[in-house]
Structure 1
Amino acid sequence: MPQTVPFVDYLVLGERPHLVARACTGCGARFFDRRNACANCFATSFTQVDVPTEGEVRAFTIVAHAAPGVPVPFVSATVDCAGTSVRANLVNVEPTPEAVRLGMKVRLALTPVGVDQAGTEAISFGFEPRP
């Protein structure tokens, strides 16, 4: 079986793939990047929390122009996962205004990014419509 690695530190692969955020112990604000202090209350203590794998589209745009080599169009979205705001692409959906809507129910979906010379596959994430 080929080895897989998460494309970002906050993606957990395995039997139950999910995202992990850093939650401020002072105010509860959640972040995916490394922080020395909370951008909301300036506290300096954080704990890790699992992010729900289902959510709702709160904002989106259909990207028509991107860097060379990036296929367009695609849908970039902000998804609310029970209070945690996640920025990700929508996958397995037509990139048209008719196919995507605010409030759309979505779930975490894994997407392969590439394979290195040793055969290790990098896995990223997006969100896809829930059935």
Structure 2
Amino acid sequence: MAEQIPLVDYLVLDEGDPHLVAQECTSCGARFFDRRNACAGCFATEFTSVPIATEGTVRAFTIVTFAAPGIPVPFVASVVDCDGTHVRANLVNVAPDPEHVHTGMKVRLATYPIGSDSNGTQAVGFGFEPAA
């Protein structure tokens, strides 16, 4: 199998099942997916890495019908509550219409190939798909 690399630093592919990892403030518990020098909530500077639940509930979404050239539309941009951590991600493997997507919808993390380089290394992205 070709080598795989995550599209974002907080997607973990090499420790069993794919999952997301956040940086959690050791003082107030706020979680962030990007690198931080200080917590936006309490200004503390110590963080620890914590795994994020791979299942969640759609809290908000929009069906995007206009995008930059080359971006296929329509698609569903969403905010998913993963056991208290809000994750911004697209919904995948679901029709992008109000008959198939709704707030309160149960979803699970899904990964998919984005493309490969000339050496065959595959970039992998993530989204959320309807839970069975």
Match runs of 1:74-85 below 5 Å: 74-85=75-86
The answer to whether 1:8 aligns with 2:32 is no
Whichever residue aligns with residue 77 of structure 1, its letter is: S
> With structure 1 as the length reference, what TM-score do the two structures score?
0.98
Match runs of 1:1-131 below 5 Å: 1-14=1-14, 15-131=16-132
Which whole-Å CA distance do the structure 1 matches of 2:4 and 2:43 have between them?
A: 36
1:5-28, Cα deviation, whole Å (9 max, x unpaired): 111100001321100000001100
| 5+ residue gaps, structure 1 | none
1:63-90, Cα deviation, whole Å (9 max, x unpaired): 0011111100000000000000000000
Which whole-Å CA distance do the structure 2 matches of 1:108 and 1:80 have between them?
A: 12
Query: What is the percent sequence identity of the aligned residues?
Result: 68
Q: Provide the aligned length of Structure 1 versus Structure 2.
A: 131
Structure 1 runs (4+) deviating above 4 angstroms are none
Which whole-Å CA distance do the structure 2 matches of 1:25 and 1:3 have between them?
A: 34
> With structure 2 as the length reference, what TM-score do the two structures score?
0.97
Q: CA deviation at 1:4?
A: 0.6
Whichever residue aligns with residue 69 of structure 2, its letter is: P
Which whole-Å CA distance do the structure 2 matches of 1:44 and 1:103 have between them?
A: 34
Tell me the SS of whatever aligns to 1:77. strand
